[in-house]
Amino acid sequence: MSANSRLTVAVHALAWIGLNERLGNGIATSEQVATSVNTNPVVIRRLLGELRAAGLVKSQRGSGAGWTVTRDLAGITLLDVYEAIDPGPLFGMHRGEPKQDCVVGARIQPAMNSVYDRLEQTLRAELADTTVEDVLRDVLAPH
At residue 3, the pLDDT reads: 60
1 falls in which pLDDT band (50, 70, 90)?
very low
For the entire predicted model, the pTM comes to 0.87
At residue 4, the pLDDT reads: 78
- Domain spans of the chain, in order of start: 6-89+130-140
What's the pLDDT tens digit per position in 82-141?
A: 999 987 777 888 888 898 999 999 999 999 999 999 999 999 999 999 999 999 999 999
What's the pLDDT tens digit per position in 38-48?
A: 999 999 999 99
| H-type alpha helices, the chain | 6-22, 30-37, 41-53, 78-85, 103-128, 132-140
CA quadruple 18, 21, 27, 31: dihedral, nearest 10:
-60
Task: Look at residue 39 and give its three-state secondary structure.
Answer: coil
CA gap 28, 17 in Å, rounded: 6
Domain boundaries 6-89+130-140, CATH class: mainly alpha
Please state whether beta strands 66-69 and 57-60 pair in parallel, antiparallel, or not at all (unpaired).
antiparallel
